[in-house]
Amino acid sequence: MIYYMYRVKRLLRNKTLFFWTILFPLGLATLFKFAFSSITEKTWGFDTIPVAVTTESGVAAEAMFVEFLEGMENDGAAFFSVTETDKDNAEKLLSEKEVTAVIVLGEETEVLIYENGLNATVVKTVVDNYLQSRDIFMEAAMTGRLAEVTESFADETETLAVREFEGASKDPMIQYFQALVAMASLYGAMYGLLNTGEMNQNQTVVAARRLAAPMKKLPTVLADVAAACTIQYLQFLLILAYYLLVLKVDFGRVNGWLFVAGALYSLFGVLIGYFFGCVLQKEKGIADSVMTGCIMFSCFLGGLMVGNMRMILETSAPIVNRINPATLIAESMHALCVIGDMGWFARCMISIVLWCILLIIVSVVALGYHQRKIGREGKKA
Amino acid sequence: MNTVVKIENLVKRYKELVAVDHMNLSIEQGEIFGLLGPNGSGKSTIINCLLSLTNYDKGEITVFGEKMRADNYSVKGRIGVVLQNVAVFDELTVYENIDYFCGLYVKDKAKRKELVQEAIAFVGLEEFVKFYPKKLSGGLLRRLNIACGIAHKPELIIFDEPTVAVDPQSRNKILEGIQELNRQGATIIYTSHYMEEVEQICSRIAIIDKGQLVATGTKEELKSMIQTGETIRVEVPEMTSEVLFGLEKLSHVLSVEYNDGLATIKCSGGRHNVLHVLEFLNNTETSFGRVFAEQPTLNDVFLEITGKELRDEVQ
């Protein structure tokens, strides 16, 4: 316990780490908030989403779909403002940003969007739900179960789409703040890296001094990890509180799962530091630089500098979004707080857990390798 | 006497370099045992092997009658370590540092508090308990380093060059402190390349060079191992070759060197050597100035055995 307590004290009193892991994310968030506030005020309103629907064929199904869209409400306000038009005009409206999306009805229904964002996601989700429901109805009609299915579906399709987005973030710049939380979480690596400086006797004189004491290695390492995670988690809470209470960032649904996820993000960040510290053990300076570079690159891919980077990667190299640490953190928050897709959230969490396991294995192997090397080649403590 | 540390046939290689070459040492309870040798002679490697901080290729180390291993925590708990470089945390105060290192050995909080206070008093850091290490002078830092190593009252304390880069006043305090710890019952292993310190405080000394044990014994025993019993230096403005030759022929004189008006005469352990030399100079009407006579030092021992000065290696 004394080990853990003093480690916490030491990490808390480290001014350099305090700046990078607390002040920097808070400062950056404040800057983001001021920079984005005018954009948000000008461009964002969740009142009604303008969409264009192509109704060229004139069949009854198209009219039903338009009616369905026009019938959707949120707190008494229409969810969609529907413009029925032909495809050319619809595309023109889209290019002029008069509408958020164009729904091209037909055998293969398409949704065309100009840029990604919450509104576009809403449109796509509603259309997906509608199409799924339509398929069910068609199948029911063919099997003579139409009345039964109609009854059970009576109000569900409409409420499904609306319910799904209740409590969701209305801030179009939310992805930047998600990426910031990801960056702050990954900066926990700095604590991990600092801890690894005291694992082998060749690294620092205090490491040699500690190893001369009658302490088992595993409990001391676990105490170090726990201390780093504790501080990182407290920082996660502090940053989140600052975003929500001071900057009034609309994070969407903030529920218990976010706090569970925060603990995993903290562990993830700390373990990344252990990974770099154990693999690049000989040169702390190099480990520091390489780690910081990797984290910033990960954050770049996660959308910290370019808001729609995740969408770009999703179309060009989706595997990056599946494995990039910053993306996994940001997307898990997006899935949980904005979309409310627990399946997506769970997939992100599982990926992070797998990352953690991989980092532990590589760190342990690297640590063992370096210890054997010290034994062979030697380096005075 | 009980043997506290026994090192048998210890060999440690770093690739092609043999850092410790078939070393045999035995350290008895209550001793201040000095490991004397130039930098790079293998002293710290021996200490690292002794503390199981590094593996070794051959041999056996026994501490308190038990084979020393990295996981022999009961033995480790009876050892205190004061390393050459100050091993404290910058983010913790003086009190917290001592409490932390004491806490690695003593779990009971009340007992630890008592021990920490005693250690603070022992090294005289009462006024600095709330200071951070960066605010301490070099001498105070060394005292803190010592307090961290001895707070848990170990039976065996290893001091690895604790006075490097320390001012003379602090050095004397450190040496007095080590002697006091020894009086209180601790067995001390003291490594240094400062022969004066080793000579001043150690009851037995091992001289090490290139990983090999050159000689071991009390300082008197070591000095008796060499031919030189006394070195006489006489200021002689002018000396003829006949006088020089005559001096060499005197009984008990081993060698005579004459440089820049100073004659250095090495004698064996005979009595009245100074008298005989001065008598000869007087008889040969050779004028002379000041006369110095020195007993052999450990440097003379090192020089005569290894053929090089111990001081040459000091950085």
Question: In Å, how far is A366's CA from the nearest CA of chain B?
Answer: 18
pLDDT at B252: 84
Answer yes or no: is B283 within a domain: yes
Is the domain of B118 the same as that of B261? Answer: no
Domain end residue (candidates: B203, B224, B245): B224
Q: Give the E-state strand segments of B193-297 in sequence order.
A: 204-209, 212-217, 230-235, 253-259, 262-267, 291-294
- The predicted structure's pLDDT at residue A148: 67
Q: Which two tokens stand for residue B20?
A: 């410790």
Lowest mean pLDDT among A48-62, A217-231, A292-306, B76-90: A48-62
| Of the listed ranges A8-17, A198-207, B269-278, the one predicted with least confidence | A198-207
The C-alpha of B111 sits at a distance from chain A's nearest C-alpha, in angstroms, of 14
What is the pLDDT averaged over residues B255-273? 86
Q: Do residues B187 and B254 both lie within one domain?
A: no
Q: Is residue B313 part of a domain?
A: no
Confidence of residue B97 (pLDDT cuts 50, 70, 90): very high
Residues B117 and B240 in one domain: no
Asked if residue B311 belongs to a domain, the reply is no
> Would you state the structure tokens that stand for residue A104, as one six-digit string?
């091209």
The ipTM assigned to this model is: 0.78
Tell me, yes or no, whether B19 and B48 share the same domain.
yes
Tens of pLDDT, residues A334-346 = 888 888 888 889 9
Range in A106-110, B36-40, B209-213 with the lowest mean pLDDT: A106-110
Contact A10 B92 (CB under 8 A): yes
All domains of chain A, ordered by start, with CATH?
2-39+171-377 (no CATH), 46-164 (3.40.190)
pLDDT digits (tens, 9 = 90+) for A7-26: 999 999 988 888 988 889 89
pLDDT of the residue at A201: 64
Q: Which of B224, B254, B278 is the last residue of a domain?
A: B224
Query: A97-111, A160-174, A234-248, B72-86: which has the minimum mean pLDDT?
Result: A160-174
Q: What is the pLDDT of residues A22-67, one digit of tens each?
A: 889 899 888 888 877 656 555 544 567 888 888 766 677 777 788 8
Rounded to an integer, the average pLDDT of B15-44 is 91
**Residue A271: pLDDT over 60:** yes
Chain B residues near residue A209 by CB distance under 8 angstroms: 81, 83, 87, 101, 148
Q: Is A6 within 8 Å of B103 when comparing Cβ atoms?
A: yes
E strands present in chain A: 49-54, 73-74, 77-78, 80-85, 101-104, 110-113
Compute CA distances A258 → A21, A175, A265, A351, whole Å: 19, 15, 10, 16
Per-residue pLDDT, averaged over B111-128, amounts to 94
What was the pLDDT predicted at A164?
45
CA–CA gap between residue B240 and residue B246 (Å, rounded)? 10
Last residue of a domain, one of B177, B201, B224: B224
How many residues does this entry show for chain B? 315
Closest listed residue to residue B86, CA positions, set B138, B150, B157, B152 = B138
Say if residue B199 is in the same domain as residue B133. yes
Residues B26 and B109 in one domain: yes
In a domain, B312, yes or no: no
Instruction: Tell whether A8 lies on the interface with B, counting CB pairs under 8 A.
Output: no
Whole-angstrom Cα Rg for chain B: 24
Read off φ and ψ for residue A77, nearest 5 degrees: -100, 150
Q: Which among A13, A215, A380 has CB closest to B104?
A: A215
Q: Is the CB of B246 inside 8 Å of chain A's CB atoms?
A: no
Q: Are residues B37 and B182 both part of a single domain?
A: yes
Q: Find, in chain B, the residue whose alpha carbon is nearest to that of A6.
A: B100
Instruction: With respect to residue B148, please indicate whether it lies within any of the assigned structural domains.
Output: yes
**Structural domain contains residue B29:** yes
Does residue B273 sit within a domain? Answer: yes
**In sequence order, which residues have a C-beta less than 8 Å from that of residue A69 and are 6 or more positions away?**
A51, A53, A79, A80, A82, A126
Q: What is the pLDDT of residue A249?
A: 82
Whether the per-residue pLDDT at A87 is higher than 90: the answer is no
Predicted local confidence at residue A376, as pLDDT? 63
Q: Looking up tokens 């006024």, which residue turns up? A: B127
Question: What CATH number corresponds to the domain at position B246?
Answer: 3.30.70.100
* CATH number of the domain within which B79 lies: 3.40.50.300
- Determine whether the interchain pair A9/B71 forms a contact, defined as Cβ–Cβ distance below 8 Å: no
Asked if the Cβ–Cβ distance from A381 to B48 is below 8 Å, we say yes
Structural domains in chain B (count): 2
Name the minimum distance, in Å, from the CA of B223 to any CA of chain A.
32
Residue-level pLDDT at A286: 86
Is the predicted pLDDT of residue A99 greater than 90, yes or no? Answer: no
Residue B31 and residue B142 in one domain: yes
Indicate whether B34 and B81 sit together in one domain: yes
Query: Nearest-CA neighbor of B88 among B134, B125, B155?
Result: B134
The residue-averaged pLDDT of A343-360 equals 94
- What's the pLDDT band for B251 if we cut at 50, 70, 90? confident
Q: How far is A254 from chain B (nearest CA, A)?
A: 36
Please check the confidence at residue B57 and state whether its pLDDT lies above 70: yes
Q: Does B267 touch chain A (CB under 8 A)?
A: no
Q: Which domain holds residue B104?
A: 3-224
Judged on CB neighbours under 10 Å (0-12, 13-18, 19+), A38 is: exposed
Residues of B in contact with A380 (CB under 8 A): 44-45, 48
Query: Is pLDDT above 70 for A156?
Result: no
B215 lies in the same domain as B251:
no
- With tokens 């063919």, the residue in question is A142
Q: Is A201 on the interface with B (CB under 8 A)?
A: yes
CA distances from B209 to A314, B28, B36, B213, B313 (A): 66, 22, 9, 7, 11
Among A92-101, A229-238, B98-107, the minimum mean pLDDT is found in: A92-101
- At residue B9, the pLDDT reads 94
Q: Give the H or E element holding residue B19.
A: strand B17-28
Instruction: Check pLDDT > 50 for residue B101.
Output: yes
CA distance B43 to B207: 10
Give A6's contacts in chain B (Cβ within 8 Å). Answer: 89, 92, 96, 99-100, 103
For residue A148, what are the CA distances in angstroms to A64, A136, A154, B58? 20, 12, 10, 85
- Kindly state whether residues B62 and B143 are assigned to the same domain: yes
Q: Give the residue-averaged pLDDT of A301-307.
A: 83
Task: Please check whether residues B206 and B271 belong to one and the same domain.
Answer: no
| Assigned domain for B300 exists | no
